[in-house]
Amino acid sequence: MTTVTMSRARAELPALVDKAHEDAVFLTKRGRTAAVLISPAAYERMLEALEDQDDIAAYDAAMDEEGPNIPWDEVKADLGLD
């Protein structure tokens, strides 16, 4: 992890973008984190992990619902997947 002030980041942005492909670069302003530079690949991995968490939460919520279960064959037929 690299931490850089915003004023230094302005002067070194191209190098910091390159550095972000290896590790996150935290940009600070007045001693507080203001932004984080990460690679596009790391960003995509984070989005996928969040989507997976959403899917798991939706699955858990669906499993907690009361009522009859719908057979898989019926679901496939309703979706035109048979």
pLDDT tens-digit map of 5-20: 999 999 999 999 999 9
Burial of 28 by CB count in 10 Å (0-12 exposed, 13-18 middle, 19+ buried)? middle
Averaged over 34-54, what is the pLDDT? 97
pLDDT tens-digit map of 33-42: 999 999 999 9
In the structure, what pLDDT confidence band is assigned to residue 31 with cuts at 50, 70 and 90? Answer: very high
The C-alpha atoms of residue 19 and residue 3 are separated, in whole angstroms, by 11
Averaged over 19-28, what is the pLDDT? 97
Q: For the chain, give the mean pLDDT.
A: 94
Averaged over 18-35, what is the pLDDT? 97
Identify the CA nearest to 6 among candidates 36, 46, 38.
36
Task: List the chain domain ranges.
Answer: 2-66
pTM here is: 0.68
Between 1.10.10.10, 3.30.390.30, 3.40.50.1950, 3.40.1620.10, what CATH number should domain 2-66 receive? 3.40.1620.10
Tokens 């492909």 label which residue? 21
